Every structure is written in C-alpha cells, then in structure tokens.
Structure 1
Amino acid sequence: MFVATFVRHGETKLNAAKIIQSRTHGELSEKGILMAEHLGRHLTHERFTRVYTSDLQRCHDTTLNILKHSSHPHPELVLEKNLRERDYGDLEFKPTQAIYDICSETGLDTHAVPLPGGEPYEETKKRTAKFLNMLGKLADASSEPEHALVVTHGAWLMCMMDYLADSRNTHYDIEEFQDKWLKNGPPNTATTRFLIHPFKNGNANEKSKRKLQIVHVYDTTHLPEHFKN
C-alpha cells in the first residue's frame, strides 16, 4: 500500500499580513515555524520512505521543521517544481482582497479565478495530475509499503481536490468524495492523507480506474486551538 500525506506549508510573514504570495520563496513567520514543529511532533512516529517538497523556500523550511522531530531516519528531500503554488501573476504582493474582488466579479472560488499575467487554472490542475500520476506509478512498482510526505501550497491542494472531483468517474475510484472539500482552502500545515492502491498485476488501460482512499482532508488536529484562529 502507498500512503501519501500532503501538507500545506506553515504560515509565512506575508500570509500573516494578508499579502498575496505565489511564485516567490517566502519566509516562515515565528508562528509558521511553530506550526510545522507541532506537526512534526504529531507525525514523529511516522516512517516516511519518500519526501517531496515544492522548491520554494517556505515549503522547504516547513519540511525541515517537520522532519527534525521524526524518530526515524528520512530519505533525501526531492525538490519538485510541479508542487509549486499557482503563479498569481500581476497580483503578486497585492493585498489578498484583490482575489476576493475577482471572486465577487466572476462568481468563482478563490483557487479558480482568472489571474492577470498568472498561470491558467487548468495548467495548475495539470501539474497536480502529473504529480499524482507519478505517485500512482510508484505505488504500482513498490513491493513494500511506502509513505510519501508531500509539502506544497494552498491553491495547489485545492486544485488537486478539484482534479480528483473531476476524475472520480474516469481515472479514480474514490469512495465518499465530499463536495465540501472543494469550497474552502487548507489552513497552514493542514494535512491531507490518501491511500493509493496499485493496479492489480500492474495492469492498466484507458478504462482502468485507480482506487484511492481518502483518509482525511485538511486536518489540523496537531495544532493548539489558539493557532486555528
């Protein structure tokens, strides 16, 4: 069985200031570091066989602050460009209210709005699909249980859930998918965990659907209550 635990990075200084940050590295706030450490202690007994992180600094630093509390040795970090946040283009460093203004004008959710000079929404979804496909192939090839830690970004995770919603009748067999997961984004350091099942005998064709079990979505039980406000 292949387990994948997805994590949104810890709070950054620009998150706290309600400033849009996408393609730039970002610096974790003091609270963001503590959030990652709380998660690290929560996951201390988890044994990760693979670790992937967006190559942006806020994710890399979050990953290190999680893993320093692990009771197991961990593999080398893989910096993955496909895990980068959606590029918000001309809105970079603008107040987050600019996103909500576009939402009001278009009636679209925050992760799906058109972004002037930014990455098209469907391109971000394609990146999430490519990464999930890669994990699926690893599940097919693995003869031993595996657990991947994946540290990424808020809009990326929302696009991933949207991709799974679109693909549940074509590429994925997902029980009890809840549409509420598509409405709100993940808080900082929230975890989302899947069980990705290999194709039987490694066989797959255009009509095959991979079984994917969702254990939890956007979980923050590792955080103290005063961090959840």
Structure 2
Amino acid sequence: MTRFALTVVRHGETRFNKEKIIQGQVDEPLSETGFKQAAAAGVFLNNVKFTHVFSSDLMRTKQTVHGILEKSKVCKDLTVKYDSRLRERKYGVAEGRALSELRAMAKAAGEECPMFTPPGGETLDQVKMRGKDFFDILCQLILQEAGQNEQFSQGAPSNCLETSLAEIFPLGKTCGSESNSDSSTPGLAASVLVVSHGAYMKSLFNYFLTDLKCSLPSTLNKSEFMSVSPNTGISLFIVNFEKGREVKPTIQCVCMYLQDHLNGGTETR
C-alpha cells in the first residue's frame, strides 16, 4: 500500500470576494485581510512537513502559498510548482461583474447557478476534468517516487510526515483509522500542499465524493462537504493505493475547511 496526505487550502480574501464580484480567472491580488489570513494559515501549518507544494498560477494563490511557506519552520525553501490546472473556474463574460448579475443571467437563461455557464465560461464538467487530470498526475508522481524510494516502505521519513500532521489535524478520527495503528500499515509516502480556489475545490471534492467514494468523518455530512470553502479554509485527505495496477485510490476525508487559524477555535468540520 502507498499512502499520502493531501492538504488543500483556498486562497486568502480579495476585494472581489469581499464585494461579491465574480472573480474567475481575473488576476486579482489579496486584500489586506487576505494577506493576514495567509500568514495565519502559515503559522497554523508551520510545523507540518510537506514534501510537495502545488498552487494555481493566479496572483491570489501565489501570494497565499508564499504567505504560508514564509511561516514554515520545516519547508520554507520548498519549491512551489505552479499549475494552470488548479485555476478557478472561468466565468467568461461574468468575470468582474457582481454575483447578483450572474444569477440574473442564469435566471434569464432558465437555469440556476452553479450549473449555468456564462458565454465564454467553463462548464462544470470541464472544471471537473481539469481537477481529475491534476489529481491523476499527482497520484502518478507520488507512486513513481514511492517506487523509487524503498525507504518509504520502511516508514523512516514517513512517520515524521504523519506525526507533523497529527499535531494539528484529527487523524485519529479518520474513517478506517483503526488500520493506521496497525504495524503493517505503511507510513505516508508524501505530504502534499495544494493552494487553489473555491469553485475549483468544490468541483474537485465532488469528484472525490462521487467518483472515488471518499469516506467522510462522522461529524461531516454531504451538504457541508459540498459547500464552498471560506478563504484559507484548510481541508485534509489521506489517499490510499492498494497494490495492483489501474486501481482507483481510496480517499479518506480527515477534516473540511478548518478555520482554527482564523477564529482560534478547535471545532473541525
């Protein structure tokens, strides 16, 4: 079995977010609040040992991932791989316009958001395929690296990856976590950080739930799982690959849209 952790963070607040303007792929920077949120997320994650970092190539995600890594005590100098497949959904003519205008456009077309696709925008299926493509390539990368490094199977460096996550995430509450205490269960082969966007993340998580049958913690229902992440909301998944070719991974959701770094609370979803 090969296991890896996937931590997904939404970018910090922008002026468009605050004013409820459709952002899409408009390259809007973080607001002052957004920079503070990114720094707070960085402090929260500062002891987590990430092995790979990916980010959308838009400015707000670049600034967010920089704010997170700047606070890291263990992977400050890790190279970020910017990937256009992690970009927000493209909203075409609706970009830069108020959310209320998008809803009016959808109503005029006899449809509802988010199913409605504005002229020049991406369909939900197109966004889903971008997410699936990124995730498939990521899995191939981790499996290839794990195969090249026998040390992973012995748990030497991987135990510290899991330990660093367990300090702040409820790993013990993960569905099927009983097996995690089994000595036959290997440590994590990698710990991946991804910084992306609200609608994109919702689409990716829908793929996890619908296509890959992602298991949810008992404290989380499907409607909460399919809501849109708040700015710098943090979600954690454990991805498992059994031995064998062309087998879909199993995914366990540890927590969704964690906001402890913003409100100082301990409640997780």
Q: TM-score range by the shorter chain?
A: 0.7 to 0.9
Query: Where in structure 2 are the equivalents of 1:1-229 lying within 5 Å?
Result: 1-73=3-75, 74-101=77-104, 108-110=112-114, 112-141=115-144, 142=146, 143=149, 144=152, 145-167=189-211, 172-176=212-216, 178-181=221-224, 183-200=226-243, 203-205=244-246, 208-224=247-263
For 1:102 and 1:2, the matched residues in 2 are separated by: 42
For 2:111 and 2:120, the matched residues in 1 are separated by: 20
For 1:182 and 1:42, the matched residues in 2 are separated by: 22
Structure-1-length-normalised TM-score = 0.87
For 1:104 and 1:217, the matched residues in 2 are separated by: 31
For 2:47 and 2:85, the matched residues in 1 are separated by: 28
Q: In the TM superposition, what is the alpha-carbon distance from 1:220 to its structure 2 partner?
A: 1.3
Q: In the TM superposition, what is the alpha-carbon distance from 1:163 to its structure 2 partner?
A: 1.6
For 1:34 and 1:17, the matched residues in 2 are separated by: 18
Structure of greater Rg: 2
Return closer, same or farther for 1:103/1:42 CA change in 2, 3 Å cut-off.
Answer: farther
Structure-2-length-normalised TM-score = 0.74
Return closer, same or farther for 1:72/1:214 CA change in 2, 3 Å cut-off.
Answer: same
Q: Secondary structure at the match of 2:5?
A: strand
Q: In the TM superposition, what is the alpha-carbon distance from 1:16 to its structure 2 partner?
A: 1.4
For 2:227 and 2:214, the matched residues in 1 are separated by: 20
Q: Secondary structure at the match of 1:90?
A: helix
Q: In the TM superposition, what is the alpha-carbon distance from 1:20 to its structure 2 partner?
A: 1.1
**Residues 81-102 of structure 1, C-alpha deviation per residue, up to 9 Å, x if partnerless?**
1000010000011011123335
Q: In the TM superposition, what is the alpha-carbon distance from 1:173 to its structure 2 partner?
A: 4.6
For 1:155 and 1:192, the matched residues in 2 are separated by: 14
Q: Secondary structure at the match of 1:11?
A: coil
For 2:123 and 2:214, the matched residues in 1 are separated by: 26
Point out where structure 2 has 5 or more consecutive residues left out of the alignment: 153-188, 265-269
For 1:126 and 1:36, the matched residues in 2 are separated by: 28
Identity across aligned pairs (percent)?
30
For 1:15 and 1:158, the matched residues in 2 are separated by: 16
For 1:164 and 1:107, the matched residues in 2 are separated by: 26
Q: Which portions of structure 1, spanning 4 or more consecutive aligned residues, are displaced by more than 6 angstroms?
A: none
Count of matched residue positions in the alignment of Structure 1 and Structure 2: 217
